[in-house]
Amino acid sequence: MGNLGAVLFAILAGVSTAIEAFVNGELGKNTTALIATFISLVVGALFFLISILLAGDFKDLANINSINPKLLIGGILGGLIIYFTVKSVPSLGVSNTLTLIVVSQMLIGFFIDATLLKESIHLYKYIGAILLVIGTFFILS
Do 25 and 85 reside in the same domain of the chain?
A: yes
Note down the domain range covering 40. 1-89
Inform me whether the pLDDT recorded for 6 exceeds 70.
Answer: yes
Do 66 and 17 reside in the same domain of the chain?
A: yes
Structural domain count of the chain: 2
**What pLDDT, in 10s, does the model give residues 66-121?**
888 899 899 999 999 999 999 999 999 999 999 999 999 999 998 999 899 988 88
Calculate the CA 71 to chain-centre distance. 16
**What pLDDT, in 10s, does the model give residues 29-68?**
999 999 999 999 999 999 999 999 999 888 887 778 888 8
Do 53 and 99 reside in the same domain of the chain?
A: no
- For residue 2, the SS3 value is coil
Residue type, 55: A
- For residue 112, the SS3 value is helix
Cut 0.85: pTM above it:
no
Q: What gap in Å lies between CA 101 and CA 118, rounded to an integer?
A: 24
Do 139 and 80 reside in the same domain of the chain?
A: no
Do 76 and 140 reside in the same domain of the chain?
A: no
**Entry field: residues in the chain:** 141
Do 97 and 85 reside in the same domain of the chain?
A: no
Do 102 and 136 reside in the same domain of the chain?
A: yes
Contact 126, 106 (CB under 8 A): no
